[in-house]
Amino acid sequence: MAPIKDVFESLISRFQMAYTSNERITTDEQLVVFRGKYAFYVFIKSKPEKYGIKLWVAEDAKNFCLQHASIHWQE
């Protein structure tokens, strides 16, 4: 995660600066499909693409604009 940490955090902060959300925020988990080699992949049986990087996302429920995201990994 270290090579992309700064880029990921910069992207999230730019989303937060560009848009102020209303009072309705929703959280969701998303699986970003990635087939490369990495240590923190996640397996979710119910998804069409079962392996990838799991993100927890907070977004505006009205406009679907991203407010915050974090990467989940298995130890």
C-alpha to C-alpha distance for 66 and 60, rounded to whole angstroms: 7
Over range 57-66, report the average pLDDT: 81
Tokens for 20, please give them: 């102020």
C-alpha to C-alpha distances, 32 to 8, 18, 22, nearest whole angstrom: 14, 23, 26
pLDDT of residue 73: 61
pLDDT at 3 over 80: no
The domain tally of the chain equals 1
For 43-69, what is the mean pLDDT? 82
Residue span of the structural domain in which 63 resides: 2-72
Over the chain, what is the mean pLDDT? 79
Residue position matching structure tokens 């996302």: 57
Structure tokens at 75: 């130890």
For 32-52, the pLDDT digits (tens) are 887 777 777 788 888 888 888
